[in-house]
Amino acid sequence: MNIMNLNASLSGLMVGAFRMSVSADNIARHDVPNSEKNRVIQETMATGGATARAEPVKLDPALRDLDSLSTNIDYAEEAISQMITYTAYQANARVVQTVIGMEDRLIDIKA
């Protein structure tokens, strides 16, 4: 493991926190009429790691016309997204812990 692994995992942690924030915002707006959910677009950086941005998912105009209370936010979909994000967050945190542990051991060996 090297610094690239650490950078990739740290950026993964930041993307995970961002994903959770977007999902929480979607859930908070579930009961807002004509509310459009946001989805997270994750991209790999050339230097390693990842970055993310949110973009709206447009509500179908036909649904908007039929029901002024329509929304495209689904509690079940958001719950699944949060579970997946939580698992990825845990994995990235374990990589960070492993890299730090290896560096500590290396320092102990050299001392």
Backbone φ and ψ for 59, nearest 5 degrees, come out as -75, 135
Cβ-based neighbour number of residue 46 at 10 Å: 5
Q: What is the pTM of this model?
A: 0.80
Which pLDDT value is given to residue 35?
79
Which pLDDT value is given to residue 36?
83
- How far lies 85's CA from each of 47, 67, 91, in Å? 22, 32, 10
Which pLDDT value is given to residue 13?
95
33 pLDDT band, cuts 50/70/90, is confident
Residues 49-76 have pLDDT tens digits of 899 999 998 876 665 555 555 567 888 9
Structure tokens at 80: 């699944």
